[in-house]
């Protein structure tokens, strides 16, 4: 975990708050995510982790607080605008596009494709086809890495639960994000593959991609997270490196169940 220099923050969350009716899902949360790191977001069930991801990615409007991405205020912007800035999120319960094949699910991901304009789709067929080939090659690579290549022409709705989670992750990465928010990407994925995925995430991190990772398995967190934020009851309980946090009493009592 050799962090050579101190990279600047790419994602900054300040005093975030969100209630649903009477339930305070997020209750004044602030933290930063440094560029090119994997930051873990952990906490008991119902701590507000997914809510934080939803708030950052624009899927729920926050009541209060500011979200900044690379210095831009993105608070309460529309999800597609935030995604267009290079922040891609995955969903805790995999949301595969059921009646699209696995490969098509991947092919939706690249941002601003030429052929997504109906006009260009009609008149620039050659250029569109060329771009399709490029994306196809990338998609095939990702699918091979995620052990999904054999299923490429299967409808995504027919995949198993674990395969759907893999597709969810692969599709997010296919979008070439600068910042990725992953909501329990490895839940339901078998241990061997989990190891492989950890390897991919670390390598992408080394290439400059930033991750915010929600994960319940603390050994995974310990293995790949440079920094960890612990949430409990909608607030930041502690933060630091995983091995330090294991010693912290509040964390132990609130979360580790010691």
Partner 1 sequence: MSSLVFYLLTVAIFFCIYCIYGWGLNLQFGLTGILDFTYITFVAIGAYFAGVAALQPGNGGLGEQYILGLHLPFPIPPIIGGIVAAVLAILIGYVGLKRLRSDYLAIVTVSVGQIVWTLIGNITPLFNGWDGISGVPQPFNSVFQLDFNHYQWVFLVICILFAVLGFLIIERLTHSPFGRVLRAIREDENVAAALGKNVFRYKMMAFVIGSIYAGVGGALTIAYIGAYNPSGFTTMETFIIWAAMLVGGSGNNRGMILGAFLVPVLFNEGTRFLPSPPGNPLLAESIRGMAIGLLLIFAARFRPQGILPERKTVFRLDGLQQGGEAGGDRLVPQ
Ligand X SMILES: Nc1ncnc2c1ncn2[C@@H]1O[C@H](COP(=O)(O)OP(=O)(O)OP(=O)(O)O)[C@@H](O)[C@H]1O
What residues make contact with partner 1 under the rule CB under 8 A?
Answer: 57, 59, 78-80, 83-84, 88-89, 91, 95, 97-101, 103-104, 107-109, 111-118, 121-122, 125, 128, 132-133, 136-138, 140-141, 144-145, 152-153, 155, 171, 173, 175-177, 200, 203-204, 207, 209
Tokens 């709705």 identify what position?
A: 157
Closest to partner 1 by CB, 30 or 202: 202
Shortest Å distance, C-beta 21 to Mg ion: 18
Q: Is 240 left (phi over 0), alpha (psi -120 to 50) or beta?
A: left
State the binding partner of 35 from partner 1, Mg ion, ligand X, none, CB within 5 to 8 A by kind: none
List all residues 6 or more positions away from 124 whose beta carbon is below 8 Å from its beta carbon: 114, 115
CB 17 within 8 A of CB 64: yes
Which residue, 214 or 245, has its beta carbon nearer to Mg ion?
214
Which of ligand X, partner 1, Mg ion, none lies near 25, with the C-beta cut-off 5 to 8 A by kind?
ligand X
8 or 98: CB nearest partner 1: 98
- Which listed option, partner 1, ligand X, Mg ion, none, makes contact with residue 126 (CB within 5 to 8 Å by class)? none
Q: CB under 5 to 8 A by kind: which of Mg ion, partner 1, ligand X, none does 204 bind?
A: partner 1
**Which has the closest alpha carbon to 48: 21, 76, 68, 28?**
28
Q: Minimum Å distance from CB 208 to partner 1?
A: 9
Nearer to Mg ion, 37 or 92 (CB): 92
Cβ contacts of residue 21 below 8 Å, gap of 6+?
A: none
- CA 164 from centroid of its chain's CA atoms: 15
Spell out a b/e string for 160-175, using b for 16 or more CB atoms within 10 Å of the CB, else e: eebbbbbbbbbbbbbb
Asked if 231 and 41 count as a contact pair (C-beta separation under 8 A), the reply is: yes
Q: Are 41 and 234 in contact (CB under 8 A)?
A: no
Q: What is the largest CA-CA distance in the chain?
A: 65
In whole angstroms, how close is the CB of 159 to partner 1 at the nearest point? 14
Task: Give the residue with the Cβ less far from Mg ion, 92 or 194.
Answer: 92
Nearer to ligand X, 51 or 90 (CB): 51
Which residues bind to ligand X, rule: CB under 6 A?
Answer: 20, 23, 25, 43, 45-51, 92
| Rama region for 150: left / alpha / beta (φ>0; ψ in -120 to 50; rest) | alpha
Least gap, CB of 40 to partner 1 (angstroms): 21
- If contact means CB under 5 to 8 A according to the sort of partner, which of ligand X, partner 1, Mg ion, none does residue 45 touch? ligand X
Q: Which is nearer to ligand X, 45 or 112 (CB)?
A: 45
Which residue from 135, 134, 165, 167 is spatially nearest to 149, judged by alpha carbons? 167
């Amino acid at each position: 975990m050799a962090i050579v220099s101190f990279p600047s923050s790419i994602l900054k969350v300040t005093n975030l708050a969100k209630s649903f009716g009477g339930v305070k899902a997020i209750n004044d949360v602030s933290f930063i995510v440094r560029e090119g790191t994997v930051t873990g977001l952990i906490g008991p069930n119902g701590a507000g982790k997914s809510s934080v991801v939803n708030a950052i990615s624009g899927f729920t409007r926050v009541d209060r607080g500011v979200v900044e991405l690379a210095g831009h205020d993105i608070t309460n912007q529309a999800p597609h605008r935030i995604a267009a800035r290079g922040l891609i999120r995955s969903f805790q319960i995999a949301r595969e596009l059921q009646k699209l094949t696995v490969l098509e699910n991947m092919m939706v991901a690249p941002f601003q494709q030429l052929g997504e304009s109906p006009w260009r789709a009609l008149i620039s067929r050659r250029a569109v086809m060329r771009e399709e080939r490029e994306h196809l090659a990338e998609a095939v690579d990702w699918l091979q890495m995620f052990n999904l290549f054999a299923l490429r022409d299967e409808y995504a709705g027919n995949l198993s639960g674990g395969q759907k989670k893999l597709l969810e992750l692969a599709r997010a990465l296919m979008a070439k994000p600068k910042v990725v928010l992953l909501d329990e990407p490895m839940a339901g994925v078998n241990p061997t593959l989990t190891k492989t995925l950890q390897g991919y995430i670390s390598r992408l991190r080394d290439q400059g991609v930033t991750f915010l990772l929600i994960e319940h398995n603390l050994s995974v967190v310990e293995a790949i997270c440079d920094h960890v934020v612990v949430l409990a009851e909608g607030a930041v309980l502690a933060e630091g490196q995983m091995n330090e946090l294991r010693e912290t009493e509040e964390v132990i009592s609130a979360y580790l169940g010691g």
